[in-house]
Amino acid sequence: MQRARRSPADRAFRPEGRGLRSLSIATVAAMALALGLVFFYAPLDAEQGFLQKIFYVHVPLAIVALSGFVVAALMAIAHLRTRDARWDMRSYVAIHMSLIFAVATLLTGSIWAKGSWGHWWVWNEPTLVSFLIVFLLYATYQPLRFSIEDPERQARYASVFAITAGAFVPMNFIAVRLSTAYLHPRVLGSTSNLPAKMAFTFAVSLLAMALLYATLCKYELTAKNARAQLRALRRLADRRAGVGEAAQAAAPRRRSAAPSLHAPATMTARAAGRPGA
Amino acid sequence: MNALQLEGLARHYGEREALADVSLSLPEGQTMVVFGSNGAGKTTLLRVLATLLRPHGGSVRVFGSRLPEEAWAVRGRIGLLAHEPLLYRELTARENLRLHARLHGVGLARVDELLELVRMDGRSREPLRTLSRGMVQRVAVARTVLHDPQLLLLDEPHAHLDPAAVETLDALIGAPCGRTRVICSHDPGAGLAEADLVLGLRAGRPALLGAAGELSVAQITGLYR
Amino acid sequence: MRRTVGALLRKELLVELRTLESVPGMSLFAVTTFVVFHFALNRDSVSGDLAAGVLWVTLLFASILGVNRLFVADADQGGFDSFLLAPVDRSALLIAKALALLAYLLVLELVAVPAFALLLLGPSLGQALPGLLAVLLLGDLGVAIIGTLVAALAVRTRARDLLGPLLALPLFVPIVIGGARASSPLLALAHPGDPAARWLITLALYDLLFGLITYGLFDFLLED
């Protein structure tokens, strides 16, 4: 039996889940290794003792979250240039995930601050402060999307936001660093001048965190893709069964902040090689 | 070269088709009248032709220029008369038209000429919000033709106008003006009389397309069922 | 281009003069806020860091009122459409709006700074005034640019009055940092000092970078 030729519609819905299993396995392996290193290999810090080990979680979280925001901005640029909705989808997922990682950064940072200084929040740690501002900015991403009904405009405005915010992140860090380093030295530790064992542990932790981020993003993208394909098939089936446009429209979809891959039913019909419904 | 050349024009709104499979050609100087019930896609079609909306599929050529890549070549040669007057309510008719003139590089003297032609010169220095909807429509017509466009896109142009006004404006946007026109209309009889080409839309798709001489009013009213 | 910006700017200022929607509200808000600060801080006069903070926070929040109204007339009355149909460079709208917002901010400060000096400021402004004006101008440029971008983003959404401030405030933080730090020595009790160059450079760079970003992205917000 001949393999069916792939049409544009097929390509649009290519399962993004390819490689998901290998990625997940790699992530679990890296995290296991990182945990092992953190608890049994890395030496105890002279000043802060066991608490310092939060560093191996907090800083990788921070770096991955920030990189995620910047990558999302790049994807948004791709979306604006190509007008391909898939870039918007990827940008949305990247921001979504980075926001979660950012919250985790704030929480671990807070715990570390409480342990080291006795306060749940410190203003003289510029990274933490910058994160708070960045979090507050990106927290408006979802409400912004939700308040625009036209899906194409929603995606476009979201991309403009993602690019602005992505450019803002480094500028904000510099500005905050300027304003705090002026008064107090960094308190929660830096990544430079680490002894070899710590540096190695840190590197592995960073890798594990990055893999975790990539895997979670891929899961979400795959799920969204599958859902979009299901919807398209359902619409095609409706058209076949003769359910009119009016009836389809009568089941209005709830307003959503999440982008959805859309392909009018005719596209899939053509892909199936039959005359459009 | 045709004024309009559309092939398979498609535009969607999320998962809903707003326009699909629209193909037609309109020679220069001719009039196309578009019929269809509310929500059929008439306004969407007009806005795509006006370069305000990008086509999502198919090809659109206005005076030979492809949209949206070459939209810049076509802007300024199109006049759009939409549902909204596209005028600032706090400004006077004169100020609105002068702004339009400056944006389009038209001499300001033409503004006064047009105000006279649409019989609004007497009340041209009052803010638009103090004028009746009919008067605002007259100013809107002036705005539409101020920059001498080659293509007129008219969305129900006689809405809000009394018969005297319709007559006055005929020279500017009616058949005598000689420009290429695309008109959205709800009046099968009058529309058919004016048209060279007729397009009937149903749910975004062309349900009716042909020369006006070959179609009947009954066929057009059939669209609305 | 200059003619287009001129025509649009003229329209902006005409509409504002007729409706008086933005500037009086912003100015009144600023003066009232100073009164609120008096009671909230329980002080008769402020100086140095505190003065800089009160002034900048008040100006920022007042400017948000202007930002919220910036594109409303265009969005509601079809101004976007009529502009998009014109054969002109789309950036002209961005420049015209940013200049208009800058003008509103300058008028706001004409009222707010004397009011501040009268009501809350401890040390007299005399010597520090030129320096303060320079800092304010740099800050205003940034607020005008960011304000225009955020206003265009928020105006055609359902929650336009809410999203505007939420988007603008984090983006304003670096301006607050630069502006307040630069103003603080100017408003000090004893010998008013000069603003540190680094803060002025921070402000100028931020303005420049955001100017470029906004210039590149603005067109995408205008499309339907």
Average pLDDT, chain A: 82
Q: In the numeric block, which tokens belong to residue C70? A: 């910036």
Q: Among partner residues C149, C157, C162, which is closest to A164 by beta-carbon distance?
A: C149
Q: How far is CA B94 from CA A36, A105, B97, B100, C223, in A?
A: 78, 59, 5, 10, 27
CA distance C167 to chain B (A): 26
Contact of A175 with chain C, judged by CB distance below 8 Å, is answered with: yes
Query: Which pair of structure tokens corresponds to residue C174?
Result: 């670096």
pLDDT band at A14; cut points 50, 70, 90? low
Q: Find the domain containing B109 and state its range.
A: 80-148
In a domain, A14, yes or no: no
CB contact (8 A) between residue B13 and residue A151: yes
Cβ of residue B133 closer than 8 Å to a chain C Cβ: no
**Which helix (H) or strand (E) is C106 found in, with range?**
helix C91-119
Taking CB atoms and an 8 Å limit, are C18 and B78 in contact across chains?
no
* B133 within some domain: yes
Interface TM-score (ipTM) > 0.85: yes
Q: Is residue A30 part of a domain?
A: yes
Local structure of residue B181 (DSSP, 8 states): E
% residues pLDDT > 90 (chain C): 81
A175 to chain C: which residues are within 8 Å by CB? 173-174, 177-178, 202, 206
Residue type at B61 in one-letter notation:
R
C85 vs B80, B88, B102: nearest CB: B80
Those residues whose C-beta lies under 8 Å from the C-beta of residue B221, and which sit 6 or more positions away, are: B188
Q: Which domain holds residue A226?
A: 19-271
The tally of domains found in chain A comes to 1
Q: Which of B13, B15, B38, B67 to mutate to test the interface with A (most CBs of A within 10 A)?
A: B15
Residue A84 CA, distance from chain mean position: 19
Cα–Cα distance for residue pair A102/C12, rounded to 1 Å: 41
Is B24 in contact with B199 (CB distance < 8 Å)? yes
At A16, the pLDDT band (50, 70, 90 cuts) reads low
Q: Chains near B, with 3+ CB pairs < 8 A?
A: A, C
> Domain for residue A12, yes or no?
no
C10/B99 Cβ within 8 A: yes
pLDDT at C78 over 90: no
pLDDT surpasses 60 at B30? yes
Q: Min CA distance, A139 vs chain B (Å)?
A: 25
Q: What pLDDT is attached to residue A274?
A: 41
> Do the Cβ atoms of B99 and C73 come within 8 Å?
no
Q: Does pLDDT of B149 surpass 60?
A: yes
A257-A261-A267-A273 Cα dihedral, nearest 10 degrees: -140
When CB atoms are compared, the residue of A80, A144, A172 closest to C220 is A80
Taking residue A274's Cβ as centre, other Cβ atoms within 10 Å add up to: 11
C87/B87 Cβ within 8 A: no
Mean pLDDT for chain B? Answer: 92
Q: Note whether residue A2 is domain-resident.
A: no
- pLDDT tens digit string along B85-95? 999 999 999 99
Percent of chain C residues topping a pLDDT of 70: 100
A42 touches A198 (CB < 8 A): yes
d(CA A151, nearest CA chain B) in Å? 5
State both tokens at C37.
Answer: 């600060």
A151 touches chain B (CB under 8 A): yes
Does C2 lie at the interface with B, CB-CB under 8 angstroms? no
Q: In this predicted model, what pLDDT tens digit does every residue of C130-171 receive, in sequence order? A: 899 999 999 999 999 999 999 999 999 998 999 999 999 999
CB contacts of B203 in chain A (<8 Å) are: 245
- Which one has a higher pLDDT value, A228 or A103? A103
pLDDT over 60 at A8, yes or no: no
Q: A276 lies in a domain? A: no
B51 to chain C, any CB pair closer than 8 A? The answer is yes
pLDDT above 60 for A276: no
- Reduce the DSSP state of residue B94 to 3 states and report it: helix
B102: nearest CB among C3, C82, C84:
C3
Residue B150: pLDDT band (50, 70, 90) is very high
pLDDT at position A273: 43
pLDDT at site A192: 64
Q: Indicate yes or no: CB of A178 within 8 angstroms of CB of C156.
A: no
Instruction: Give residue-wise pLDDT tens across range B191-207.
Output: 888 899 999 999 899 99
A87/chain B closest Cα distance in angstroms: 16
Q: With 50 as the cut, is the pLDDT of residue A185 above it?
A: no
What token pair was written down for C159?
């929650």
Q: Does C197 touch chain A (CB under 8 A)?
A: no
Chain A partners within 8 Å of B36 (Cβ): none
Q: Which residue has the higher pLDDT, A194 or C137?
A: C137
Residue A142 at interface with chain C, using a CB cutoff of 8 Å = no
Subunits adjacent to chain A (3 or more Cβ pairs under 8 Å): B, C
pLDDT in tens, C4-28: 999 999 999 999 999 998 999 999 9
List the structure tokens of C99: 């200049």
Predicted confidence band at C35 (pLDDT cuts at 50, 70, 90)? very high
Q: Partners of B9 in the beta sheet?
A: B22
A168 touches chain C (CB under 8 A): yes
| Residue A4 covered by a domain | no
Model confidence at A267, in pLDDT bands (50, 70, 90)? very low
Reported as a pLDDT band with limits 50, 70 and 90, residue A257 is: confident
| pLDDT for A255 | 67
Integer Cα distance of C55 and C98 in angstroms? 22
Q: How far is B12 from chain A (nearest CA, A)?
A: 8
In a domain, A59, yes or no: yes
Question: Are B14 and A249 an interchain contact pair (Cβ–Cβ within 8 Å)?
Answer: no
Residue in A80, A137, A148 closest to C157 by CB: A148
Phi, psi angles (nearest 5°) of residue B127:
-60, 140
Q: Among A154-158, B129-133, B215-219, which stretch is predicted with the lowest mean pLDDT? A: B215-219
- Tell me, what's the pLDDT at A270? 43
Residue A10 pLDDT > 70, yes or no?
Answer: no
Please state the three-class secondary structure of A195-235 as a single string: CHHHHHHHHHHHHHHHHHHHHHHHHHHHHHHHHHHHHHHHH
Q: Report if residue B118 sits inside a domain.
A: yes
**Is A10 inside any structural domain?**
no
Q: Label residue A272 by pLDDT band (50, 70, 90).
A: very low
DSSP B11-68: EEETTEEEEEEEEEEE-TT-EEEEE--TTSSHHHHHHHHTTSS--SEEEEEETTEEET
In chain B, how many domains are there? Answer: 1
Interior/surface letters A44-65, b for 16+ CB within 10 angstroms, e for the rest: eeeebeeebbbbbbbbbbbbbb
Q: Which residue has the tokens 């859902």?
A: A227
Give residue A191's pLDDT. Answer: 60
Phi/psi-derived region of residue B28, left when phi > 0, alpha when psi is between -120 and 50, beta in every other case: beta
Q: What is the largest CA-CA distance in chain B?
A: 49
Q: List, for residues A31-89, the tens digit of each pLDDT value.
A: 988 888 888 887 777 777 777 788 889 999 999 999 999 999 999 999 999 999 999 99
| A269 pLDDT above the threshold of 70 | no
pLDDT at A245 over 60: no
Higher-pLDDT residue of A124, B136: B136
The residue among C44 and A252 whose pLDDT is bigger is: C44
Residue A247 pLDDT: 55
Note if the pTM is more than 0.95.
no
**Contact call for residues C82 and B102 (beta carbons, < 8 A):** no
CA distance B175 to A221: 55
Q: What is the pLDDT of residues B95-146, one digit of tens each?
A: 999 999 999 999 999 999 999 999 998 999 999 999 999 999 999 999 999 9
Sign of the CA dihedral with A4 first, then A9, A15, and A19 last: positive
